[in-house]
Homo-oligomer: A and B are copies of this chain.
Amino acid sequence: MLKNSEFVSKLRNSGLRPTKQRLKICEVLFNRDKTFHFTINDLAKNIAENFNEKISLATIYNTVHAFKDKGYLKEITISSDKSYFDTNITKHHHFYDEDTNLLIDCNDNEIGKVNIKNNITGKKISSVEVLVRVASDTQNQD
């Protein structure tokens, strides 16, 4: 739950001008108690339905990518045609429910630390992501 003035500083601090559109998007994404997952399409729809002033699709794309580049969003890619953004930018893993197409955050109670015994020589690990796909017991397990 952040205030408008906090979004203004947040944007300024990362070299992004606090425009009306960006602040609106910040409000939609970050003015909440809980983090969540969304697609560009979800976000565009959300804005179109809940606000009078519309934001151009190009701006929504630009802003989401700018926020991702600045580290305010993480992208979770499920398959070549399914990609979600996550407002939870802490290190964490995901369950993906193949029945509902929903992404669910894991915490340390659910997935233990991944033990990486050897890394590629001369390289540094930039991220470790675990995706656990789940489906109903009765469903085809693919």
Contact = CB atoms under 8 A, between A and B. Distances in A.
For the residues of A in contact with B, the DSSP-based class is: strand
Q: How many copies does the complex hold?
A: 2
Given A110-B118, A114-B112, A115-B111, A135 B126 contact: yes
Interface residues of A, number: 41
A131 to B, nearest CB: 5
Nearest to A139: B124
A131 B98 CA distance: 19
A127 B133 contact: yes
A124 B137 contact: yes
Interface of A: 75, 77-80, 83, 95, 97-99, 104, 109-112, 114-120, 122-137, 139, 141-142
